Amino acid sequence: MKKKGWKAFLRALDEGFEEKIAMVVMVLIAIFMGMQVCARYVFNSSLSWPEEICVYMLIWMGMISLSYCIRKNSSIKVEMLINLFPIKVRRIFHILEDVISIVFYGFLCIPAWQLLGKAIRSGQVSAALHLPMYFIQIAPLIAFALAVIRSVQDIYFNAKGFHEKAQEDER
């Protein structure tokens, strides 16, 4: 792939990664729960696996939403005090916030890694689907790693905006 092609691929991945995952998961949940409802009320029989897989998909969705919120800058935070400062100072606060997020989520990667290791060593499988539990236990590790990546991106975007704004002020 050419360099331009990679950039386009990475941009597309960056702009819609979490949204695409969420969309696919929500459609699958609707399909599986629809199957369960149909089996229960039309055929008077219950399937064991749709509920289990929907719970696991909701776990994944919840974890992936962390990096989505960071990317869309919709994390829970107090902006009222920060908005009292000029734009340059606000950008510095946001960069500081992202540095703290990187440290925090980076730290959370350690117990997530340990949890994944325990799941792999235990060999535990899910009740209905017999899926290895590490498929579910890897979700926090991936979520926290994506949160670190999105926080680094946020620092880059804030620094870039800070640099562009400083150049405009000099003109």
Model confidence over 125-157: pLDDT tens digits? Answer: 998 899 999 999 999 999 999 999 989 988 888
Mean pLDDT of the chain: 85
Distance CA(41)–CA(98), nearest Å, equals 50
* Residues with Cβ within 8 Å of residue 112, at least 6 apart in sequence: 140, 141, 143, 144
pLDDT band at 166 (very low <50, low <70, confident <90, very high): very low
Residues 60, 135 contacting (CB under 8 angstroms): no
Q: Which residue, chain included where needed, has tokens 């990664």?
A: 17
Global pTM? 0.80
HSE at residue 15, side-chain half, CA atoms within 13 A, is 6
Q: At residue 103, what is the residue type?
A: V
Distance CA 136, CA 54 (A): 12
As a 3-state breakdown, the chain gives helix, strand, coil percent values, each rounded to 5, of 80, 0, 20
pLDDT in tens, 69-110: 888 877 777 677 788 888 888 888 888 989 999 999 999 999
- In this prediction, residue 9 carries a pLDDT of 66
Q: What is the pLDDT of residue 161?
A: 73
Tens-digit pLDDT profile for residues 19-54: 888 899 999 999 999 999 999 898 888 888 999 999
Instruction: Specify the pLDDT at position 167.
Output: 43
| Dist. CA 81–CA 69, nearest whole Å | 21
* Confidence at residue 163, expressed as pLDDT on a 0 to 100 scale: 45
